[in-house]
Amino acid sequence: MKRSVSGWVFGSVFGILMLSVSVLSLSTTSSAQIGIGISVRVGPPALPIYAQPICPGPGYFWTPGYWAWSDDDGYYWVPGTWVIAPVGMLWTPGYWAFSDGFYGWHAGYWGPHVGFYGGINYGFGYGGVGFYGGEWRGRSFFYNRSVTNVNVTNVTNVYNRTVIVNNTRNVSFNGRGGVEARPTLQEERFSREPHNAVLAAQIQHEHAARQNRQLFASENHGRPAIAATARPGEFNGPHVQRARAAGEPYRAPKITPQEARGQAPGNRGGNRGFNDTTRNSGNSNGSGRATARPGNDTRNNNPRNEPRNNNLRNHDAKVRNQEARNPQPRSPQTRSFDTRNNQPRNREQMSPRDNPRPIRQERPAQNQPRAAQERAVTANRAQARPEQKRNTPEQRR
């Protein structure tokens, strides 16, 4: 009984551990998509001319070479190589595409069908549309000997099928000045199928190429010394293939790699995130309009609600009450003076509806200096106009 329980516990722990490792490796591979989001102002060199190394054995799949980008030193060649393919999966190569003044990289992927890869003629079964280098038959991959280098002694799953390629250019990018090709309806459908990310061996292969100075276009001028390898990362040995020639005469860029590096189309404004808010994020509601903060009602900004104006209204109300008790004849030539300095202040606030325009006094207070009287006249005139305004909907709330 104890042995069965111990075995069950060990099996459960081992299963959880293997599941965690699988998820971790999958997330690492998925996040390491080669060259995603890169956009450059200068185009890649032409594809070099080279021979395909012999296939190492059954189950290996050919992935063509391509030009990758380094922000420090520009374009460098990632040699074509044979990798062990996921069963039932085919490789769709990545490609460069020119659009809106930038050359953008579209990463490759594994899928049940070969999708659009820019119409680029990578060779060895990749003539620009589809793949003719082999096919899956059940769980075994069969090689087309007419376009792939296979030793029938080591690999017996072979067939012969003639392939005619009309695109003989060595251009390495899609778009104006390159290959003018657009995806077909079938290729668009293939692009929506479930895909697998690049293999860890492919990522390591590209990283190793980046560490090799002789693979940079600035050093080899479009003719790399290591154009293809039999296995990922094997840059030495008898199966390494040198480029026989550059695809086209090499033209060195007139700007540095740092100057050539650009933002992807649609994100030219600098290093901003998608969810960045406006500079005054504390007062933004996402629509560019300011929002009222709690305790800062816009009605409080009305001149009627200022303490000084309330005091004036309270004082004028008291003067009106006094004059109502002691009425005096009014003269059309007399001016109204503010006498709040001679009256005690009334702390009670009255509503605007109960506080009409104050009755003007016939004479100014005699105990005020003339300069003070003139200032009072100016203040009273400035306050008279707001007192005549009707209540707005915001003030009535």
Report the distance separating Cα 367 and Cα 369, nearest Å. Answer: 7
* Per-residue confidence band for 167, with pLDDT thresholds at 50, 70 and 90: confident
pLDDT at 222 over 70: yes
> Higher confidence at residue 107 or residue 319?
107
Report whether pLDDT(374) > 70.
no
Band of pLDDT at residue 348, cut at 50, 70 and 90: very low
Name which of 242, 233, 236, 243 is nearest 81 in CA terms: 233
- The pairs formed by 351-358 with CB atoms below 8 angstroms and a separation of 24 or more are 352/304, 352/387, 352/391, 352/395, 353/391, 354/317, 355/313, 355/316, 355/317, 355/387, 356/387, 357/384, 357/387, 357/388, 358/316, 358/317, 358/319, 358/320
Mean pLDDT over 153-165 rounds to 93
Among the listed residues 336, 28, 331, the one whose alpha carbon sits nearest the alpha carbon of residue 204: 28
What is the Cα–Cα distance from 339 to 359, expressed in whole angstroms?
A: 12
| Residue 168 pLDDT class (50, 70, 90 cuts) | confident
Among 137-151, 199-213, 223-237, 340-354, whose mean pLDDT is lowest?
340-354
Stretch 42-51: mean pLDDT: 96
Say how far apart CA 313 and CA 307 lie, in whole Å: 10
Residues 214-237 have a mean pLDDT of 96
Tell me: the pLDDT tens digits for 264-291?
A: 554 443 323 323 333 333 333 333 333 3
- 320/314 Cα distance (integer angstroms): 10
The C-alpha angle with vertex 325 and arms to 324 and 327, in degrees rounded to 5, equals: 60
Q: Residue 261: its pLDDT value, please? A: 87
Lowest-confidence region among 5-19, 71-85, 100-114, 206-220: 5-19
Mean pLDDT of the chain: 73
Position 347 confidence tier, pLDDT thresholds 50, 70, 90: very low
CA distance 361 to 327: 10
10-42: pLDDT as tens digits? 455 444 444 443 434 333 333 333 445 689 999
**Cα–Cα distance measured from residue 302 to residue 310, given in angstroms and rounded to the nearest whole number:** 12
High-pLDDT (> 90) share of the chain, %: 53
Question: Which pLDDT belongs to residue 371?
Answer: 52
pLDDT of residue 378: 54
Angle at 297 between CA 291 and CA 302, to 5 degrees: 120
Q: Concatenate the DSSP letters of all residues of 210-252 into one string.
A: HT-GGGBHHHHTT--S--EESSTT--SSTT-B--SB-SS----
Please enumerate in sequence order all residues whose Cβ is within 8 A of that of 392, keeping only pairs 6 or more positions apart, or say none.
Answer: 302
Please report the pLDDT score of residue 305 as a whole number. 45
In the three-class reduction of DSSP (H, G, I as helix; E, B as strand; rest coil), residue 115 is classed as coil
Residue 373 confidence (pLDDT): 53
- 120 band by pLDDT with thresholds 50, 70 and 90: very high
pLDDT at 195: 94
pLDDT at 310 over 60: no
The β-bridge partners of 123 are 126
Backbone angles phi, psi at 90, to 5 degrees: -120, 150
Task: Give the residue ranges of DSSP H helices in 53-161.
Answer: none
Could you tell me which residue, 60 or 339, shows the higher pLDDT? 60
